[in-house]
Amino acid sequence: MSNGTNQTRLSPRKKPGKLIAIILLLLVVFGATGVFSFNYFIGQMLEPVGDGDLVYVQIEEGAVISDVAELLTENGLIRDAFAFEMLAKKESTANQIQSGYYAFSPTESAQQILDRLVSGDVADATVTIPEGRNISEFAEILEEKNVCDAEAFIEETKKVAEYQKNYPILSSIPLTEKDGVSRTLEGYLFPDTYSFSPGVEPSAVVTAMLDRFVEVYDQELQKRTKDKGKTVDEIVIMASIVELETKLVEDKANAASVFYNRIAENMPLQSDITVDYARGEKTAVLTTEQTQFPSPYNTYINTGLPFGPICSFGETSLEAALYPAETKYLYFVADMNSGKIYFNETYEEHLEDVEKYMGN
Dump pLDDT digits (tens) for 186-238.
999 999 999 888 888 999 999 999 999 999 999 999 999 999 999 999 999 99
Closest CA to 138 of 162, 198, 273, 130: 130
Dump pLDDT digits (tens) for 295-336.
999 999 999 999 999 999 999 999 999 999 999 999 999 998
From CA 332, how far away is CA 280, in angstroms rounded?
A: 24
Residues 171 and 233 sit within 8 Å (Cβ to Cβ)? no
pLDDT given at position 8: 41
- β-pairing, 55-59 with 7-8? parallel
Dump pLDDT digits (tens) for 70-124.
999 999 999 999 999 989 998 888 889 998 888 899 999 999 999 999 998 888 7
pLDDT given at position 142: 96
pTM greater than 0.85 (yes/no): no
Dump pLDDT digits (tens) for 287-297.
999 999 999 99
Average pLDDT across the chain, whole number: 89
Q: How far is CA 267 from CA 64, 260, 302, in A?
A: 68, 10, 9
Query: Does 12 score more than 50 pLDDT?
Result: no
Residues 27 and 38 sit within 8 Å (Cβ to Cβ)? yes
Query: Does 18 score more than 70 pLDDT?
Result: no
Confidence of residue 13 (pLDDT cuts 50, 70, 90): very low
Dump pLDDT digits (tens) for 21-72.
555 555 555 554 545 555 666 778 899 998 888 888 888 888 999 999 999 9
Task: Say what the alpha-carbon torsion angle 45, 50, 54, 58 is, to the nearest 10 degrees.
Answer: -10
Dump pLDDT digits (tens) for 334-354.
998 899 999 999 999 999 999
Residues 102 and 116 sit within 8 Å (Cβ to Cβ)? yes
pLDDT given at position 36: 53
Query: Does 260 score more than 60 pLDDT?
Result: yes
